[in-house]
Amino acid sequence: MSNSKLIKLCLKNNKKAWKLFLKKYSRLIYWAINKNLARGSFNQQQNEAEDIFQEVFLSILEDKKLQQVKNIDLLPGWLAMVASNQTIDYMRRKNRIKESLVAEFPITGSQSLQEKISGQDTFSLVDKVIENLSNKEKIIISLNLFEDKTHKEIAGILSLPVNTVSTIIFRTKEKIKSKIKKMKEN
Amino acid sequence: MENDDRILQQYLQKKLKSVNIEKSKECPGTKPLLDYLAGSLSGEISLELEKHLSHCPFCLRQISIASDALSQKKKDLIPVPEKTINKVNRRLEAYLKNTTRKRKGKKTKQRFYFLAMLVFFVLSFLLPKYFAQFLVGALILGMRWSLEGKGGQTLIMVLDSLRKQSQGKNDEISNRIKNHLEE
């Protein structure tokens, strides 16, 4: 059965269609939930993933969310987004996502006050370098640094040549390094 | 690891702990993000979206995970524990049973109003003394019958939406009309 036919039958509350939908996409939804749990600043627990999975699936069913799917080819992407969204909501409700506004500078035994202060300056410097990038460059750096995306994956997302992405990442890192070096020399 | 790489790594660890992954009012929703991934947005809208993405970790996460999902191979995915699937299946069956019962109840109601309307209409001619009363009754029952149907409900939603100018309602209405026409 094609995906578009499956969705249409699901929207008509066809039992067989929903069972097939569950069989076809349960692993993807579960994967997306676990990926988000692993990324967050909390420990992953199987029970939580299972609870969230139930919530996600039932919200798709009961809120008729499948109506929102316009492009069937992008259905896996849409499902992953819904699962990701719900995971973040779930964890916020459980007060597990910590929103720390205080700069958390990693403390090692041998660090002096001078090193701690210069560390905070370094972080502000990195922030400034990234702030001065263009929007596209910021997205590239963020996807590389925060979402662990490879150059090839970023190029795919932004429809850019891989070389362009690599150049931007390399250039930005070099800029950060040279600014840190200058700061230390001063 | 070089010192500069170590600094970047520490920066990341700090940033990841402090970054606020939260949907804001400015966040565009799943459709524009998916369209952006598919490359089907116009240049201007794409640039607007990139401006948002450059400072929104929530939407960046959405795009990142959607992109992974679209390139995901089924064999790499771990199965959901069976007890969870069974739980979901039970909830699914209960929900569908309830929905079917509600729909049947609605159809029975509609048929009742239709038959009652016909009966009143016929009686209005058979009992000319009460012609006006039975005719008014037939009209009222006819209105109830049409309002119980999908067409009537859609009409109420259209009027309500025009009154309130709600975008969400407009989308729901266009989906209903589309589904209705496809049926």
Among A158, A169, A184, most B C-beta atoms within 10 A, so best to mutate, is: A158
Q: What is the CA radius of gyration of chain A?
A: 22
pLDDT digits (tens, 9 = 90+) for A127-165: 787 788 888 888 998 888 888 899 999 999 998 999 999
Q: What is the ipTM of this complex?
A: 0.81
Single-letter residue type at B155 = L
pTM of the model: 0.72
Single-letter residue type at A53 = F
User: What's the token pair of residue A145?
Assistant: 């640094």
Residue ranges in B19-81 assigned as alpha helix (H): 30-38, 43-53, 57-70
Name the DSSP letter for residue A74. Answer: G
pLDDT at residue number A112: 46
Q: Tokens 């009652």 identify what position?
A: B116
pLDDT at residue number B172: 66
User: Is 60 exceeded by the pLDDT of residue A103?
Assistant: no
Query: In chain B, positions 5-34, which contact chain A (CB-CB < 8 Å)?
Result: 7-8, 10-23, 30-31, 33-34
pLDDT at residue number A107: 38
pLDDT at residue number B169: 61
pLDDT digits (tens, 9 = 90+) for B80-124: 889 889 989 998 888 888 887 877 788 888 888 889 999 999 999
CA distances from B96 to A60, A117, A119 (A): 13, 61, 58
- Answer whether B65 sits within 8 Å of A35, measured CB to CB: yes
* Total of domains in chain B: 2
Q: Are residues B97 and B151 in the same domain?
A: yes
Contacts of B152 (CB under 8 A, 6+ apart): B146
Q: Are residues B20 and B104 in the same domain?
A: no
Q: Where residue A32 falls among pLDDT bands split at 50, 70, 90?
A: very high
Find the mean pLDDT for residues A101-126. Answer: 50
Q: Are residues B21 and B53 in the same domain?
A: yes
Among B34, B56, B98, B100, most A C-beta atoms within 10 A, so best to mutate, is: B34
User: Is 90 exceeded by the pLDDT of residue A186?
Assistant: no
Please give the residue range of the domain that contains residue B127.
Answer: 79-182
- Answer whether B15 sits within 8 Å of A146, measured CB to CB: yes
- Answer whether A53 sits within 8 Å of B88, measured CB to CB: yes
Closest CA to A103 of B18, B182, B33, B25: B18
- Residue B119 C-alpha, separation from nearest chain A C-alpha, in angstroms: 33
Among A72, A147, A149, most B C-beta atoms within 10 A, so best to mutate, is: A147
Fold (topology level) of A113-185:
Arc Repressor Mutant, subunit A (1.10.10)
Residue A101 near residue B18, CB atoms below 8 Å: yes
pLDDT at residue number A179: 79
pLDDT at residue number A104: 37
Fold (topology level) of A3-93:
Rna Polymerase Sigma Factor; Chain: A (1.10.1740)
Residue B14 near residue A100, CB atoms below 8 Å: no
Residue A79 near residue A73, CB atoms below 8 Å: no
* Contacts with B50 from chain A: Cβ below 8 Å: 135-136, 139
pLDDT digits (tens, 9 = 90+) for A12-22: 888 899 999 99
Could you give the angle at the alpha carbon of A38 between the alpha carbons of A32 and A44, nearest 5°?
105
**A183 has a chain B CB within 8 A of its CB:** no
- Residue B50 C-alpha, separation from nearest chain A C-alpha, in angstroms: 6
Residue A78 near residue B34, CB atoms below 8 Å: yes
Distance CA A107, CA B13 (A): 12
Contacts of B46 (CB under 8 A, 6+ apart): B36
* Contacts with B30 from chain A: Cβ below 8 Å: 68, 78, 81-82, 85
Higher pLDDT, B28 or A44: B28
**A139 has a chain B CB within 8 A of its CB:** yes
Distance CA A86, CA B22 (A): 11
pLDDT digits (tens, 9 = 90+) for A65-75: 888 888 888 99
Q: Are residues B99 and B178 in the same domain?
A: yes
Tally Cβ neighbours within 10 Å of residue B123.
16
B8, B30, B85 ranked by CB distance to A68: nearest: B30
Higher pLDDT, B18 or A123: A123
Distance CA B53, CA B24 (A): 12
pLDDT at residue number A106: 37
pLDDT at residue number A183: 75
pLDDT along chain B (183 residues), means of 10: 64 66 85 90 90 90 92 78 90 86 81 90 90 92 82 71 65 66 56
Q: Are residues B167 and B154 in the same domain?
A: yes
Higher pLDDT, A76 or B23: A76
Distance CA A96, CA A93 (A): 8
